[in-house]
Structure 1
Amino acid sequence: MIESLLLNLGQHDVLTDGERDVLGHIIGRERRFPAGEDLVVEGSRPGHSSLLIDGFAARYKLTAEGTRQITAIHVAGDFVDLHAFLLKTMDHGVVALSACHVAFADHAELKLVTERHPHLTRMLWLDTLVHGSIHRAWIVAMGRRSKASHLAHIICELYVRLQVVHRVSGWSFYLPLSQGEMADVLGLSLVHMNRVIQMLRREGLISWVNQIVTILDWERLKEVAEFDPTYLSLSVEPR
């Protein structure tokens, strides 16, 4: 059940068999969410953190006018709200973008991990730090890149992250976001979002058909995106 989490953490450092057993022990109760349902509700005080076993989810905020900004996309192997262990009250929501299989780690169990397993604690801490790095990359893309470059960057990032958890096939991957949902990521109107996608298609960089994205020219796509995966910290070294 936690294979994706182990693959995710294993890209940063080697986990011992004992640490793998601890993770298997603390992650228990499961639930399946349909697309569109909140995994975590803004303002709630969850007593557990949610691990995405399979599917796609998004962190989001709503404005007073009811418009939505997606601030992160989560994939299999991600804890979508590990930070709730310490922050307590959620200042944003997390919604299922596709059907999602989720498992929960009680905060009481996570507290015991921090007290008894220092290396595993650092690995889980690193997981939240990487998500912070992703947020910074998204802020730069939102504020300083063209929309075509921004979309190219997100596609590059998702491909690399999904590759880590064995969710790609060659240069293709499943991406169940509608154009409207992707518009909520880039902060665009639906019409403008469609134009940006068509731009990458015309340049021969991607194909996007029936929720399958295929990268046609990785080197050129990286160049358009100015993509450097250093911020994902994908090197196995002592932590």
Structure 2
Amino acid sequence: MSRLLIASLDRFGPLRDGVRERLAACDQKAETFEPGQVIFAAGARSKLRLLARGLAIKVAVLPEGGRQIFAVAVPGDLIDLAGLFVGCDHEVRALGPCEVRSLSSGDVRALLQDHPSLVAALCRAVLTEARIQRNWMVSLGRRSAAARTANLLCEVYWRQKALALAGDGRCALPAVQSDIADALGLSAIHIHRVLRTLRDEGLATLRNGALHIQDWERLAALGAFDPDVLRPQCDPESAGGVYRAMAGQTA
């Protein structure tokens, strides 16, 4: 986990002042989760959690039981940044089988006090998340159902491709239609119609937990997809290092 965590933070760094050595020396916990299982609930004690494998979703649960999915996490993502600084008001669930690595809140607080470069990296990570959130808000408020869906599919594919987890228009997306509906503020019936249209027009197909984009240019144009929204604040070339670190990670 140390190598993956350091590579993930380095996207927003660079890390300095011996912070890599301190991170490598921290006790780290590994947990696995099944599809749909809660990784952490609203109000959970803060840790620094890193998604090592699989996809996860961030979910706001309404009092009457409804939910709004407002983010998708991919390997290398720090999935509870807000909870490090303020009370967490949402839950994170595994979209498919997941592995999560974590550092204790005490270790994180000590690191933040001693290493300004880590504070700066986490601040940039929060800003990157906020930029992605603004794009989701634009989708919910101003894009058509087809454009919302296209933009989301492009995001999920592009982010996994940047980590060498996708290629040739194919990637994992173990989501059912109700998941996509809850992410895009639409009904499951509406999503079914949109996905059928995308399939029939030769743009994209979602089946059995896998996304196949047949025509990237048309799908990206339909969703007004801008990859710059997703890029970290710092060195874009380091993103590929996250997956390379993950492939050879040590406990």
* Same structural fold, with TM-score higher than 0.5 when normalized by the shorter chain: yes
Task: Spell out, residue by residue over 1:44-93, the C-alpha distance to the aligned partner (whole angstroms, 9 max, x if none).
Answer: 24142321111111111122321111111111111111221110x22111
1:18 and 1:170 map into 2 onto residues whose CA distance is 40
**TM-score normalized by structure 1?**
0.89
* Structure 2 residue matching 1:168: 3-state secondary structure: coil
Matched, 1:24 2:30: no
**TM-score normalized by structure 2?**
0.85
* Contact 1:34/1:100 (8 A) holds in 2: yes
* Structure 1 residue matching 2:85: 3-state secondary structure: helix
2:106 and 2:147 map into 1 onto residues whose CA distance is 43
* Structure 2 residue matching 1:169: 3-state secondary structure: coil
Q: Which residue of 1 aligns with 2:212?
A: 214
- Superposed, which structure 2 residues align to 1:103-118 within 5 Å? 103-118=101-116
* Structure 1 residue matching 2:59: 3-state secondary structure: strand
Q: Which residue of 1 aligns with 2:75?
A: 76
- Superposed, which structure 2 residues align to 1:146-165 within 5 Å? 146-165=144-163
* Contact 1:182/1:193 (8 A) holds in 2: yes
Q: Which residue of 1 aligns with 2:84?
A: 85
Q: 1:80 to 1:218 in 2, by over 3 A?
A: same
* Structure 1 residue matching 2:164: 3-state secondary structure: coil
**TM-aligned CA deviation for residue 207 of structure 1:** 2.4
Q: Which residue of 1 aligns with 2:203?
A: 205
Gaps of 5+ in 2: 237-251
Q: Which residue of 1 aligns with 2:165?
A: 167
- Superposed, which structure 2 residues align to 1:1-239 within 5 Å? 1-15=1-15, 18-26=18-26, 28-42=28-42, 44-87=43-86, 89-234=87-232, 236=235
* Contact 2:173/2:211 (8 A) holds in 1: yes
AA paired with 2:82? H
What is the aligned length?
235
Identity of aligned residues (%): 34
AA paired with 2:190? H
* Structure 2 residue matching 1:23: 3-state secondary structure: helix
* Contact 2:74/2:160 (8 A) holds in 1: yes
